[in-house]
Amino acid sequence: MFSSLDIHSLENIMGYLKSVPYDVNRKSLYSATDLYAGYIPEKSESFNGCLDSKIYQHYLATGEHAKTIEESLARTLHDHGIHNALDHFFNEHDHRCCVGIMGGHALQRTDKMFGEITRLSKQLTEMGYVMLSGGGPGAMEATHLGAWMAGHTTEEMEDALSTLSVAPSFKDEGWLRSAFEVMRKYPQKHYISLGIPTWLYGHEPSTPFATHIAKFFENSIREDNILTLAFGGIIYTPGSAGTMQEIFQDAVQNHYLSFGFASPMIFLGESFWTKEMPVYPLLEGLMAAGKYKNLLLTLTDDPNVVIDELQKFRNDAQK
């Protein structure tokens, strides 16, 4: 039996769940239209009134670690719904065709590597892969830009890169506006990609080029999903601390064959991964010493080698 106090407490909780700016009963992934509802590209100040900004402002006000039980429950229910929506997504798309690209959020649109990632992602998407990233700026945006431009000509893709170059960094005014300009000019109705951002890094805007967005409050859940869902392999491009974390977390999953098999770990950028951030020789040494097993490692500067390794893995998986 519930006491009047219990009922009153339950009513307060239910009232709180209805008051938050996000849907605790959400059953689908987000799209750019959802997250940026209320944003008008011609009016930069409207960004502060869009849904994503409202949720982030609420997130900061209620604590990165929720200050109350009610808020903690609300975020948990939301993230549970997003997780279920991901399950539905992969009921329609083969996990082993899902390929992740990891790399730095600070990578500028004018950087040579940004263009390389975009072109590689475009080609892989056209080959039937579903591209996945952390859903933010930098290398993540390049991943989804490439997928968005799948089916368009090379000239159109280069024009898109030129349009975006007016705001190289996500900190620049015009970063989001120029993205929406590209999306209007080159609509995408056939190919898809999956971004998995988090409000923990809400100061980094989610790239609108991802057609499906699984945005979480809990970054630990988000990080695990990024690495777990990229069954087709992960391409590592130059990054910093976050990318390092992802490399070794991925290596553990592959070492233990956590999902019954190991997926390719492909490092794009030989000089970076052997000299500037010498992770690759470290992994090779740990493999030779028997500290790691089952790692499918590739180091290259050639996007064609990346594609060949992914295709070989996909073909072997289909036998």
Q: For 290-319, b where at least 16 C-beta lie within 10 A, e where not — what string?
A: eebeebebbbbeebeebbebbeebbeeeee
* Cβ-contact 279, 273 below 8 angstroms: yes
β-bridge mates for residue 146, sequence order: none
Q: List the chain pLDDT tens, one digit each, 319 residues.
A: 445 556 567 888 999 999 999 999 999 999 999 999 999 999 999 999 999 999 999 999 999 999 999 999 999 999 999 999 999 999 999 888 999 999 999 999 999 999 999 999 999 999 999 999 999 999 999 999 999 999 999 999 999 999 999 999 999 999 999 999 999 999 999 999 999 999 999 999 999 999 999 999 999 999 999 999 999 999 999 999 999 999 999 999 999 999 899 999 999 999 999 999 999 999 999 999 999 999 999 999 999 999 999 999 999 887 6
pTM score, whole prediction: 0.95
Q: Which secondary structure element, helix H or strand E, spans residue 100, and what is its range?
A: strand 98-102
